[in-house]
Amino acid sequence: MRTLVVALLLTTTSLSTTFAADINAVSRVDAVTVFPQGAEVTRIAAARIAAGEHTLIFEGLPGDLSPETLRIEGTGKGAIEIGSVDSKTVALRRSELDADRRRVEKDIETLADERAALDQAIQDADYQKGLMQQLAAGTLARKPGVGDTHILDAQGLSGVLDLVSARLTSLGKTSLDARQRQREIDRLTEDLNNKLTELAPRGGQRTRVTVHLSAPAETEGTFKLSYRIWYAGWQPLYDARLGAMDKDGKARIELVRRAEVSQSTAESWDNVALTLSTGRPLGETAAPELTPAVIDKLVETQGGGYSEAKDEERIAAEETPSQSKFKVRRVDVGDADIASPLDVALQQAQTNVEIAGFQALYGIKDRLSIDNAGTAKKVRIATDQIDAKLSALAVPKLDPNAYLTAAFTLTGDTPLLPGLILLYREGVFMGQGVLPLLSPGEETKLGFGADDLIKVKRIEVKRRTAEEGLLTTSNIDERAFDITIKNLHQASIPVTILDQAPYSTDQKISVETLSGMTPATVRDYERQRGVLAWSFDLASQDSKVIKHGYKISWPRDVKLGRLP
């Protein structure tokens, strides 16, 4: 009988390792790759795997993750085979959320009460220290009264000093311990507030991921689970700092690239390895297709109406399956707007830049924490020193100021995404602008505010309205202007002046340039009809006058609108 029991026990023991078991994976967010919209999150978990088949369960993942992007990989001290990966959306009961919130709120209140008690302890210690100091000062400074023969000797003085010193040391330690505990309470309170944010009503759904495993023998493994989420992203921010102009009209721009990262998911990213990618996974993956554009004649129908004629070739072209096969479709992910960023402390450590195929990856050096309340974290990506050519641009008809413009070519290997740029000139903030999408080797221009050392004045020197003609009478309108430019810089600088002349689209109305005017360097500047540009190098302390004028003629019986 004993032999049978032992045999049965051994048989049961040997078979028990083959039974499937559920293993709860205690995971944490370890790394995040953030795209301009969306992010890829990687969680890490360590687990001991017994021999046999098991199910590794990841609980509490964001309910809005994209299940098709779930990927699992890992390493182990022994052989581990990963089978299927399943995901399921789980609705958290309201009672569970409310209970969790009440528990966290109670913990926050308890910590707040303890901090208030420590404040009182610090005040009491400071008050007692003041009393001890007054007592010591009064004892040492007290003079013997009339008939008082008691004199404090050296031994008594030493005792008073020792007593005061010991008491002050004790009170100082009490105050120091209280302040250290307060700092710890502040950190704990911040963590609890983050948990409270995670328990907000928007987090009423979670995703449960189950990974089926099998191992021939007991071993340990480390697993990485990655997935995509949409309620996250980053946008570029730039600082452009323009240095002083040299004698050749050149200067250097310090271009600082920053990123503003935010996320509003159901999980906080605490102490994660952050990577920024210029890839845009939500965009189209291929160029759109053009459909045939056919012009048909109208055929009269029996009811007296008209309809389009459709021949057999057109019907075949419309119904061919090649137009729908392999067609690119944009996936609608809903209102995935990133919350408006709030300014937080900047991280000045720069990134490690990696060119991966057709995208740039910026790896942040230090691990960061980004809460899930939409608060923006600003990080520094890189700093470039770029040579720029300075010039002045003025439109005196609209603005009497000349504006300093810096033209430069983007260097390096990575592109610049469109974004807000803050402009500084010799350390002074001049305003902000928008930087367009730039690729390495592409040239662009930035304006750095009004240049007070370039003086521009535009005055009207002629205006004449009359009639002329012998056989037929025409109306005329003549206008002329003098534009004076003076350079007060200590170096020569290229200057461009823009103005306009009206143009006509009617053969009866003619516009011609007056004689003696300064020829424009470019007409229809940047393909803007009627815009004239005069470009020239203006030496230091030199001035130049541009003469600009035109004559408009139209028949007497034609009425014109308001002239410019």
Question: Backbone phi, then psi, for 245, in 5-degree steps?
Answer: -80, 135
- If one counts the domains in the chain, the total is 2
**Is there a single domain that holds both residue 107 and residue 166?**
yes
- Give me the CATH number covering residue 44: 2.60.40
517 within some domain: no
Residues 221 and 76 in one domain: yes
The closest alpha carbon to 136, from 103, 158, 118, 154, belongs to: 158
Helix (H, G, I), strand (E, B), or coil: what is residue 501?
coil
Residue type, 340: S
Question: Based on the domain organization, do 37 and 56 belong to the same domain?
Answer: yes
**Which pTM value belongs to this model?**
0.60
- Cα angle 123, 125, 129 (rounded to 5 degrees) comes to 115
Bridge pairing between strands 232-242 and 250-263: antiparallel
33 inside domain: yes
Short-list 266, 206, 255, CA closest to 232: 266
Q: Nearest 5°: phi and psi at 42? A: -120, 120
Three-class SS state of 548: strand
Amino acid in position 212: H
User: Are 164 and 69 in the same domain?
Assistant: no
What are the two backbone dihedrals, phi and then psi, of residue 325, each rounded to the nearest 5 degrees?
-75, 135
**In a shared domain, residues 197 and 209:** no
Residues 41 and 121 grouped into a single domain: no
Q: What are the distances in angstroms from CA 559 to CA 138, 245, 478, 553?
A: 103, 52, 17, 11
CA–CA dist 280, 359 (Å, integer): 9
Residue 264 in contact with residue 82, Cβ under 8 Å?
A: no
Looking at the structure, tell me whether residues 36 and 66 fall in a common domain: yes
**Cα 154 to the chain's mean position, in Å?**
71
> Which amino acid, 224?
K
| 136 lies in the same domain as 214 | no
Geometric angle at alpha carbon 450, from 536 and 442, rounded to 5°: 65
H or E stretch covering 477? strand 474-487
Are 144 and 176 in contact, with CB atoms under 8 Å apart? no
Are residues 196 and 210 both part of a single domain?
no
Residues 196, 104 contacting (CB under 8 angstroms) = yes
Residue 114's domain comprises: 95-143+157-202
Tens of pLDDT, residue by residue, the chain (564 residues): 333 332 322 233 333 344 468 888 889 999 999 999 999 999 999 988 888 899 999 988 888 888 999 999 988 888 888 888 888 888 766 655 567 777 888 888 898 889 889 888 888 888 888 887 777 776 665 555 555 555 556 666 677 677 777 888 888 888 888 888 888 998 888 888 877 766 655 446 888 999 998 889 988 889 999 999 988 999 999 999 999 888 777 889 999 999 999 988 888 899 999 999 988 776 666 778 888 877 766 666 665 555 555 544 444 444 443 333 323 333 333 333 333 333 433 334 555 655 544 577 888 888 988 888 778 889 998 899 999 999 999 999 999 999 999 999 998 888 888 999 999 998 899 999 999 989 889 999 999 999 999 999 999 999 988 877 655 678 889 999 999 999 999 889 999 999 999 988 888 889 999 999 999 999 999 999 999 999 999 999 999 999 999 999 988 888 777 766
Are 75 and 136 part of one and the same domain? no
Please check whether residues 72 and 107 belong to one and the same domain: no
